[in-house]
Amino acid sequence: MLVHGVWAGDGLAFWAETTDPPATPPSRTTPRTHPHAATAPDLAAFLRAAGSSPETEPRVLTLLLPGSAKEPLPSPETGRLAEVARPRLRPWRVPAVLPSAGDALRVLEEHAETATLRHWAAVAAFARDLVRRGRVIPHLVMSRAVWRPVVTGADAAYFRELALAMPPACRTGEVERASAEVQAEALEVVTDAIVRETLTAPLLTKEAASPAERWLVALTGPDPACPDVPGLRAELERWHAAVTAAEGATRVCFRLIEPAQPAEAAEAAEAAEAADAGWRVELALQAVDDPSLYVPAATVWSGVTGLPGRPERDLLAGLGRAVRLYPELERALRVPEPGELALDTVGAFGFLRQAAPLLQAAGFGVQLPRWAGRTRLGLKLTTRTKKQPAAASQGFGMADLVNFRVDLAVGGETISEAELAELARLKVPLVRVRGQWVELDDRQLKAALRAVEGGRTGEASAADILRHVVQGDDEELPLLEVDADGVLGDLLSGQAERRLAPLATPPGLDATLRPYQERGLAWLSFLSELGLGGVLADDMGLGKTITTLALLVHERAGAQDVEPTLLVCPMSLIGNWQREAARFAPALRVYVHHGSGRDAAGIADADLVITTYGTAYRDLETLRKHAWRRVVCDEAQAIKNSGTLQARAVRSIPTGTRLALTGTPVENHLAELWSIMEFANPGLLGPRARFRTRFQEPIEARQDEQATRALRRATGPFILRRLKTDTSIISDLPEKLEVKEWCSLTTEQATLYRAVVDDMLGRIDDSEGIERRGLVLSAMAKLKQVCNHPAHLLKDGSRLAGRSGKLTRLEQLSEEILAEGEKALLFTQYAEFGTMLQPYLAQRLDHPVLFLHGGLPKKTRDRLVDRFQDDPEPALFVLSLKAAGVGLNLTAANHVVHVDRWWNPAVEDQATDRAFRIGQRKNVQVRKLICAGTLEERVDEMIERKKALAERVVGTGEDWLTDLSTQELREVFRLSAEGVD
């Protein structure tokens, strides 16, 4: 059952799609009932079983979904193939449940298996961040007291990006609405729910007498109903308008200037006395498009600024808006020409902690001293092992005791109890300690005193120390530094792979490990002996498979009765693991638990059990009954979404240790990082909600440096990441040369191209919403097919020779490759075009040509791969990009040709890495065929111009192009004369 979320106008509704065949045929009524939609009671029961337990209101929604008259298209997450050639938008009725906003938030925390729920979870995370930063204001809407989000500046830019990324299924009601409009409604409802969830009790508990007091009760209590308060609505509207005022060419900027440091003020008391005066906030104007153009208010009043517009008026207007957010500013506005605001220490601290974030989020410029937010009072943890074990951790376990000491520290300098006592006596929030300004509020002082009183030295288990380092940060007294020796020091340093003595290639492994692989083996063994899991995130092609096999061989060398390892991988990689194990570790007993003939009895006699994610979910109870030495997840992006049934199933299998293998950087998507780490070391990073508030929101929304350092310290010991481009890792990998091959269209192709453009642009211009997006994608597919070959578009089985400039160039390249006695991989996005290319090239070139696509059974795929790798011929291998883009080792080829482009650099690079990987002895030449003057050239130019954003913008495939205007699409689709031969 796959749960989807759709905005129902008054709340977030959930409906579910089952993967089972429909129990009854679709109804004849209009609109028809979705044949794969779960009933509302079944959905509610499913949500309760998953722990969400929402109180729900059953509903029937009518959604516009693409499909045929028989059934809608299945969601991509179902894994079912679409059988509709030309889908159209049609209304479908689906049973749904509509929980309260608070319950909906809990559903989003537990479920994230579909694109719609992932999007609404991102909206909820955005709302939580706004609430955490105080970016909300109270309001009165339709006799209801509500909290509204304030979205300006960088928040507004993120809101727009989020709206552009909204899947159409999030807003597929009968009436098409803009994504930004739907998202704005949802954000207001979610924000109000989060604020009310945060408040523990109404601000007024006794019977409210005045209308304003009744509004306050409704605003802070569970019931938002409130009669209109005379005059209040208009005042609140003015408040909202003031804090969301649009920026012009300039903006007001506030610069905090610290007191001059006394010549002799090393002691805290002297520093405090000197700092009690001399703080000031300088007022200025700043150019919006060029922040370096900073003009102090005194210069503005002189009349010589170099700024556009009317600087004096802009400065006063901006200060008038800012005073609502920073009431202390009113003192500076008592003079005709305000230039600065004098502050004492308490005032400066209030500006740092409260006013500056509000002003900055509202779009004002804020300049703070370099130390602001960085130099804090925190803890330094020092541990020393009671005995010094060998580097590989023999004799040391996580239960062993270590001596520890906790010191208070500021900016790398420890401070004594006497200095702490003096700071507590002074009771000033900003003090200079050891030459550094430190923000010190009352909560931090109390936490520091508790830390000192609780004992600064003692003994603890290594596991407790590790847990404290990973989870021990708190807001009041963060852990700033860790100094550990021995095995624990190796682990906590995040450099264990470099510190440990490499493990030589174990006997029984028919290969010679490279130096970095020997270090990786030592690291894996090190973690395993400590009972910890890890993430081997080496770049694709660096040998994660052989390193894992070496670990299994190493553990079984001289050992008796070692429990089997369970390896879970995509179905396409089963054959690869079988072949690699047979080749490099022939003594390992391998059993494949997959397919209709699988028998759990084979598990007991195996050293390595290989299964798929789908089989692991279906046979979960069987797998849970066995004792496993370790569970390994290959292509661990399959469990990056923690809410999927597959991820939950794999995490629930009992085992000694866990290992995740992935070639993608896990640091880029923090929610995915939590999911992988939760698999590798359950509970180590804490609950997902705490991870989100502690790391995800501060880092993703505000690029918080301290949170980034803390996350790196928490995850570094358990993630090993090496890159192919790092010559210190691997220096003998051949080079990769990428070339763009420009092809011309034939006259027939050009005629077809213009006809498709004229037809599709007219239809696109008359459509909107999800229908428009579908038409844009359809137009791009047709134009790419024209660029491939007219017969690809027409599907008429007509001859191929002489009708396509791209095919002619492909023939020429293939002849050159064959003449050199080399092999090539030919990737196409379209399996149907591959069925045309394979027999044509085989006949024209008089050489065998293989073809691999997703419809082939596993044994046939394996046979094709073996034949290509081992036989002198065939020299050409046509591959469907989706079926063969990951997991295969095809180093017999040193040429890669992308016949048609997927327009996703990550996908193309993964396909290229089938040849450009360890085992490749020759330089790899990568050619990308592009039809000049067509959309292929223009999209390539757009990607090149946005290279820094390519992975984020183009990472979802081609959907990013559907948001272009019709005029922009006309320019992208336009056929230039130079593109026709």
The tens digit of pLDDT for each residue in 630-653 reads 999 988 877 877 767 788 889 999
pLDDT given at position 374: 63
State the pTM of this model: 0.54
Rounded Cα distance, 493 and 813, in Å: 51
What CA–CA distance (Å, rounded) separates 332 from 312? Answer: 15
Name the helix (H) or strand (E) containing 743. Answer: strand 736-743
Q: Is residue 657 part of a domain?
A: yes
Residue 834's DSSP bridge partners are: none
pLDDT of residue 576: 74
| Each residue's pLDDT tens digit, 126-142 | 898 888 878 888 888 87
Q: Quote the pLDDT of residue 747.
A: 87
Domain boundary among the residues 367, 393, 412 is at 367
Domain co-membership, 942 together with 961: yes
Q: Which of 150-159, 271-280, 950-959 has the lowest mean pLDDT?
A: 950-959
Binned at pLDDT 50, 70 and 90, residue 891 comes out as confident
Query: Which CATH number does the domain housing residue 788 bear?
Result: 3.40.50.300
Q: What is the pLDDT of residue 947?
A: 40
For residues 913 and 568, which has the higher predicted lDDT (pLDDT)? 568
Q: What CATH number is attached to the domain comprising 554?
A: 3.40.50.10810
Is the pLDDT assigned to residue 63 strictly greater than 70?
Answer: yes
Confidence class of residue 77 from pLDDT cuts 50, 70 and 90?
Answer: low
**In this structure, is residue 830 part of a structural domain?**
yes
Residue scoring higher pLDDT (79 or 683): 683
Cβ neighbors of 193 (< 8 A, separation 6 or more) are 100, 101, 102, 104, 105
Average pLDDT over residues 277-284: 87
**Which among 689, 720, 751 is the end of a domain?**
720
Provide the pLDDT for residue 957: 41
pLDDT on residue 727: 67
For residues 315 and 252, the answer to whether their CB atoms sit within 8 Å is yes
SS3 label, residue 65: strand
Q: Contact, 806 vs 787, CB < 8 A?
A: yes
Q: What pLDDT is attached to residue 907?
A: 72
Pick the residue with more confidence: 604 or 766? 604
pLDDT value of residue 557: 84
Q: Are residues 536 and 464 in the same domain?
A: no
Q: Which helix (H) or strand (E) holds 688?
A: helix 688-691
* For range 498-514, the mean pLDDT: 85
Residue 753: pLDDT over 80 = yes
Direct distance between the N- and C-terminal alpha carbons of the chain, in angstroms, rounded to an integer: 53
Same domain, 802 and 858: yes
pLDDT, position 265: 43
* Domain presence at residue 264: yes
Which run of H or of E encompasses 97? strand 88-99
Question: What pLDDT does 610 receive?
Answer: 93
Residue 399: pLDDT above 90?
Answer: no
Q: Are residues 99 and 130 in the same domain?
A: yes
Cα-based distances in Å from 912 to 18, 526, 848: 36, 33, 22
Q: Tell me: the pLDDT tens digits for 118-127?
A: 889 889 988 9
In which band, very low, low, confident or very high, does the pLDDT at 667 lie, cut at 50, 70 and 90? very low
Predicted local confidence at residue 171, as pLDDT: 84
Q: How confident is the model at residue 246 (pLDDT cuts 50, 70, 90)?
A: low
pLDDT, position 54: 54
Q: Residue 373: its pLDDT value, please?
A: 67
Q: What's the pLDDT at 228?
A: 66
What pLDDT, on a 0 to 100 scale, did the predictor assign at position 952? 32
Say which residue, 593 or 10, is predicted with more confidence. 593
Residues of the chain with pLDDT > 90, as a percent, come to 12
Q: Does residue 308 sit within a domain?
A: yes
Question: If you average pLDDT over residues 953-972, what whole number do you get?
Answer: 54
Whether the pLDDT of residue 550 is over 90: the answer is yes
Q: Flag the least confident range among 300-304, 466-470, 558-562.
A: 466-470
Return the pLDDT at 549: 94
Say whether both 343 and 444 belong to one domain: no
Between CA 111 and CA 120 the distance in angstroms is 11
160 and 267, same domain (yes or no)? no
Task: Please check whether residues 884 and 921 belong to one and the same domain.
Answer: yes
Please compute the mean of the pLDDT values over residues 679-706 and round it to a whole number: 77
293 and 391 share one domain: no
In DSSP terms, 367 is beta-bridged to: 255
Q: How confident is the model at residue 328 (pLDDT cuts 50, 70, 90)?
A: very high
Q: How far apart are CA 867 and CA 881, in angstroms?
A: 19
Domain check: are 332 and 474 in the same one? no
* More confident position, 830 or 267: 830
**Of the residues 367, 390, 417, the one at which a domain ends:** 367
Same domain, 271 and 363: yes
Domain count for the chain: 5
Q: Does a structural domain hold residue 478?
A: yes
Q: Provide the pLDDT for residue 283.
A: 94
Answer yes or no: do 64 and 174 share one domain.
yes
Q: Are the CB atoms for 111 and 82 separated by under 8 Å?
A: no
More confident residue, 244 or 714: 714
Indicate the pLDDT class of residue 391, thresholds 50, 70 and 90.
very low
**Per-residue confidence at 825, pLDDT binned at 50, 70, 90?**
very high
Q: For residue 686, is it within any domain?
A: yes
Residue 922 contacts residue 734 (beta carbons within 8 Å): yes
The whole-number pLDDT of residue 583 equals 85
Q: Which of the two residues, 535 and 143, has the higher pLDDT score?
A: 535
From CA 363, how far away is CA 253, in angstroms rounded?
A: 9
Is 241 part of any domain? no
In this structure, of 57-61, 516-520, 569-573, 884-888, the range with the lowest mean pLDDT score is 884-888
Q: Which domain holds residue 941?
A: 736-979
Determine the pLDDT at residue 730. Answer: 65
- One-letter identity of residue 971: E
- The whole-chain average pLDDT of the chain stands at 78
Dump pLDDT digits (tens) for 164-209: 888 888 887 767 788 889 999 999 999 998 888 877 656 665 565 6
Both 464 and 545 in one domain: the answer is no
Which tops the pLDDT comparison, 614 or 85? Answer: 614
DSSP 8-state symbol, 79: -
> Over the stretch 4-47, which tens digit does the pLDDT of each residue have?
889 988 888 888 888 666 545 556 667 888 888 888 888 887 77
Establish if 222 belongs to a structural domain: no
> Three-class SS string for 597-660?
CCCHHHHCCCCEEEEEHHHHHHCHHHHHCCCCCEEEECCHHHHCCCCCHHHHHHHCCCCCEEEE
Angle (nearest 5°) at CA 494 between 488 and 497: 90
